[in-house]
Amino acid sequence: MSDRWFVRLARDIRINRHVYIMLLPIVIYYVVFHYGPMYGLQIAFKDYSPARGFLGSSWAGFKHFEEFFGSMFFLRILGNTLLLSLYSLLFFFPAGIILALLLNELRSERLRRAVQTISYMPHFVSLVVIVGILFDFLARDGLINQLIASLGIEPIPFMRAAEWFRTIYVGSDIWQNVGWSSIIYLAAISNVNPSLYEAARMDGAGRLKQIWYVTLPGIMPTVTIMLILFIGKFMTVGFEKIILMYNPVIYETADVIQTYVYRKGILEANFSYSAAVGLFNAAISFLLLVLANTVAKRLGETKLW
């Protein structure tokens, strides 16, 4: 059986060698930068010391995991990570789809191009700059607070109020990336067979009905795949952005697993502990991915594997 599999693979490589050659750099990339480093995961179970190396460090068993689960911050950072991702899923994820649907309905090609270009431009602005803009706009004497003040409302210290962090984080994420994330849906929409729209119009469907019954089902496979991929990254919130945005006052809502790993691991050099926390994070991610895929499989045709 496996012999035959190799024979078939060899034949396939012979026939499609150009495709395989194109694949090669990507495979190498993953092997070197993603599979290779997994060797280092063992330090999560060791008392790692750089001087002794991976093999030389002594085993510590589940000590670091126990320390993490017993830590007072465990529930908080886990909750913060999940909530932040959940809000992104609820608000950010649909935003791209909605924008794509709206753009698709625009009749004027020029307007559509303009809106598209403008909406995905912020994606290319550096995160540091984006957060800098946030700080300026949301400062006590910033633009937003001046507007609020002119309405007679007390200024709000946005960047120092724990209750505002998630809103600002997700909101600015939508602003920055909605155009970019709509591109794939626009591509999917353009693949919908035009004859379906004609048929729908014949049946008397208006534009909303056409969106509902033709466009949405047409892009559903793409949406599902994007959703599964999104859930795969569920535990990987954009921690660079959080590090730029947070301060101790808003740790309560802003401290997530990765920022904690960063502080513990890189700043305090507790490599083993942070590897354990990171491994836990990855395990949850993996679990979520499998779960999402299973659900998608049950519900319809589309799935990752």
Partner 1 sequence: MKNRHWKHVSAIAAAAVMVAAISGCSSNGEGNSPGVQSTPSAGTDGGSAVAEYPSSFSYWVELDGDSAASLTNFSEVAAYKKLEEITGTKVEFKHPGGDGAQVKEQFNLMIASRNLTDVIQTNWLAVPKGPQNAIEEGTIIRLNELIDEHAPNFKKFLDENPDIANMIMTDKGDIYAFPFIRKADQLKVYYGPIVRQDWLDKLGLDKPATIADWEATLTAFRDQDPNGNGQKDEVPFLLETGAVRNESLNQLIGAWGILAKFYQKDGKVQYGELQPEYEQFMATLSDWYAKGLIDKDFPAVDGKLKDAKVTGDTLGAFYGFASGSIGKYLDLVKDHPTFALSALSHPALQAGGVSAAGQLSPTYPGEHAVVITSEAKNPEKIVKWLDLGYGEEGHMLFNFGIEGESYAMKDGKPEYTEVITQNPDGLAFKQAQARYMRTHFGGPFLQDLDSFLQQMKYPQQLEAVDVWAQAENQIQLPPITLTAEESAKVASIMNDVNTYSDEMIIKFIMGVEPMSNFADYVDTLKQFGVEEAIGVYQAALDRYNNR
Of 24 and 121, CB closest to partner 1:
24
Stretch that binds partner 1, among 2-10, 98-106, 177-185, 241-249 (CB under 8 A): 241-249
Verify binding: residue 59, partner 1, rule CB under 8 A: no
Site for partner 1 (CB under 8 A): which residue of 56, 61, 79, 206? 56
Residue 173 Cβ vs partner 1, minimum distance, rounded to whole Å? 19
Verify binding: residue 212, partner 1, rule CB under 8 A: no
Of 73 and 180, CB closest to partner 1:
73
Verify binding: residue 300, partner 1, rule CB under 8 A: no
For residue 64, with 0-12 CB atoms within 10 Å meaning exposed, 13-18 middle and 19 or more buried, which class applies? buried
Give the footprint of partner 1 on residues 112-171 (CB under 8 A). Answer: 140, 157, 159-160
Residue 286 Cβ vs partner 1, minimum distance, rounded to whole Å? 6
Give the C-alpha separation, 235 to 232, whole Å: 8
Site for partner 1 (CB under 8 A): which residue of 286, 291, 294, 300? 286
Verify binding: residue 46, partner 1, rule CB under 8 A: no
Stretch that binds partner 1, among 94-102, 123-131, 211-219, 263-271 (CB under 8 A): 263-271
DSSP string, the chain: -HHHHHHHHHHHHHHTHHHHHHHHHHHHHHIIIIIGGGGGGGGGGEE--TTTHHHHSEE-TTHHHHHHHHSTTHHHHHHHHHHHHHHIIIIIHHHHHHHHHHHHH---HHHHHHHHHHHHGGGGS-HHHHHHHHHHHHSTTSHHHHHHHHTTPPP--GGG-GGGHHHHHHHHHHHHHHHHHHHHHHHHHHTS-HHHHHHHHHTT--HHHHIIIIIHHHHHHHHHHHHHHHHHTTT---HHHHHHH--GGGHHHH--HHHHHIIIIIIS--HHHHHHHHHHHHHHHHHHHHHHHHHHHHHSS----
Verify binding: residue 6, partner 1, rule CB under 8 A: no
Residue 276 Cβ vs partner 1, minimum distance, rounded to whole Å? 8
- CB within 8 A of 66, min separation 6: which ones? none
Residue 107 Cβ vs partner 1, minimum distance, rounded to whole Å? 30
Stretch that binds partner 1, among 100-108, 119-127, 199-207, 244-252 (CB under 8 A): 244-252
Stretch that binds partner 1, among 92-100, 109-117, 200-208, 275-283 (CB under 8 A): 275-283
Verify binding: residue 235, partner 1, rule CB under 8 A: yes
Residues that bind partner 1 (CB under 8 A): 23, 26, 30, 33-35, 37-41, 43-44, 49-56, 67, 71-73, 140, 157, 159-160, 221, 225, 229, 232-233, 235-236, 247-249, 251-252, 255, 258, 261, 263-271, 273-275, 277-279, 281-282, 285-286, 289, 293, 303-305
